[in-house]
Amino acid sequence: MRTLLLRLAAAVVVISLVATACGGDDPDETVATTVATQAATAATTQAPPAEEPAGPGNLVEVAVGSGAFPTLVAAVQAAGLVDVLSGDGPFTVFAPTEEAFAAALDALDMSPAELLGNTELLTAVLTYHVLPLEAPAELVVTLDGQSVATVNGAEVTVTIEDGTVRVNDATVVATDIEASNGIIHVIDTVLVPPELMGPGNLVEVAVGSGAFPTLVAAVQAAGLVDVLSGDGPFTVFAPTEEAFAAALDALDMSPAELLGNTELLTAVLTYHVLPLEAPAELVVTLDGQSVATVNGAEVTVTIEDGTVRVNDATVVATDIEASNGIIHVIDTVLIPPSSG
Residue 84 and residue 274: Cα distance in Å, rounded? 51
Do 288 and 302 contact (CB within 8 A), yes or no?
yes
Decide whether 59-196 matches 202-339 in CATH topology. Answer: yes
Residue 295 and residue 195: Cα distance in Å, rounded? 35
- pLDDT band (50, 70, 90) for residue 34: very low
Question: Where do the domains of the chain lie?
Answer: 16-45, 59-196, 202-339
| pLDDT at residue 19 is higher than 80 | no
Q: What are phi and psi of 314, to 5 degrees?
A: -90, 135
How much is the pTM? 0.56
Which listed CATH number (1.10.3720.10, 2.40.50.70, 2.30.180.10, 3.40.50.720) goes with 59-196? 2.30.180.10
Run of H or E residues at 304: strand 298-304
Q: What is the pLDDT of residues 71-83, one digit of tens each?
A: 999 999 999 999 9
- pLDDT band (50, 70, 90) for residue 18: very low
What pLDDT is recorded for position 107?
87
Q: What is the pLDDT of residues 176-189, one digit of tens each?
A: 999 999 999 999 99
The 10 Å Cβ neighbour count of residue 53 is: 5
- pLDDT band (50, 70, 90) for residue 27: very low
Architecture per CATH, domain 202-339, reads as Roll (2.30)
Region 251-267 average pLDDT? 96
| pLDDT at residue 48 is higher than 70 | no
